[in-house]
């Protein structure tokens, strides 16, 4: 399984996935973690089913999301600044360039205790994804069994 990891090392509220990555690589050696920039040729050519690990504002803890959780609801960007990763992925799905996207989202945090807690929760979520081949469908079904 490949998991694309996003984050900005220079922005504290956006780098938690990168901070958790070394420990996750040790605990999940069969997973191929790929640090990627969503603004530079993402997704790679031919990749139709994506798993992304990223910071997501608005979630309370580590959460599994998919594109069906984010209905476009007829909204269109008002300016190029409204064009973000989510809109990019929704457009790619609409034009049938990708089939499925699972996002392992974590909220932005600065508290080291929360980071340790989230690391354990992210590991459980990733382990669940591996055992179920990514079959979880919505954020409502996010907790491992």
- pLDDT tens-digit series, residues 2-30: 999 998 887 767 788 998 899 889 888 88
Yes or no: say if 3 and 104 are a contact pair by the CB < 8 Å rule: yes
pLDDT of residue 2: 92
Q: How many residues does the chain have?
A: 145
Tell me which DSSP letter residue 44 carries: P
When pLDDT is averaged across residues 58-72 and rounded to a whole number, the result is 75
- Which residues form the domain of 124? 2-141
Task: Answer positive or negative: Cα dihedral of 126, 132, 138, 144.
Answer: negative
The Cα 44–Cα 57 span in angstroms is: 25
The pLDDT confidence band at residue 70, using thresholds 50, 70 and 90, is low
Q: CB atoms < 10 A from the CB of 104, how many?
A: 22
Total domains present in the chain: 1
Q: What is the pLDDT of residues 86-140, one digit of tens each?
A: 888 888 888 999 998 888 888 887 666 677 777 788 888 888 777 765 444 444 4
CATH number at residue 13: 3.40.50.1450
Q: What is the pLDDT of residues 36-49, one digit of tens each?
A: 988 788 898 889 99
Yes or no: say if 36 and 42 are a contact pair by the CB < 8 Å rule: yes
**Percentage, residues of the chain above pLDDT 70:** 75
Task: Label the pairing between strands 63-66 and 49-55.
Answer: unpaired
This prediction has a pTM of 0.77
pLDDT of residue 144: 43
């Amino acid at each position: 399984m490949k998991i694309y990891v996003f984050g900005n090392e220079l922005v504290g509220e956006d780098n938690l996935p990168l901070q958790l990555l070394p420990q996750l690589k040790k605990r999940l050696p069969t997973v191929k973690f790929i640090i990627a920039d969503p603004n530079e040729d993402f997704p790679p050519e031919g990749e139709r089913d994506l798993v992304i690990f990223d910071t997501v504002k608005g979630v309370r803890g580590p959460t599994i999301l998919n594109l069906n959780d984010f209905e476009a609801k007829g909204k269109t960007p008002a300016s190029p600044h409204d064009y973000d990763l989510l809109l990019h992925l929704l457009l790619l799905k609409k034009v049938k360039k990708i089939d499925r996207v699972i996002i392992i989202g974590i909220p932005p945090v600065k508290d080291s205790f929360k980071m340790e807690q989230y690391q354990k929760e992210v590991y459980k979520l990733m382990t669940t994804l591996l055992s179920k081949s990514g079959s979880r469908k919505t954020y409502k079904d996010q907790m491992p069994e």
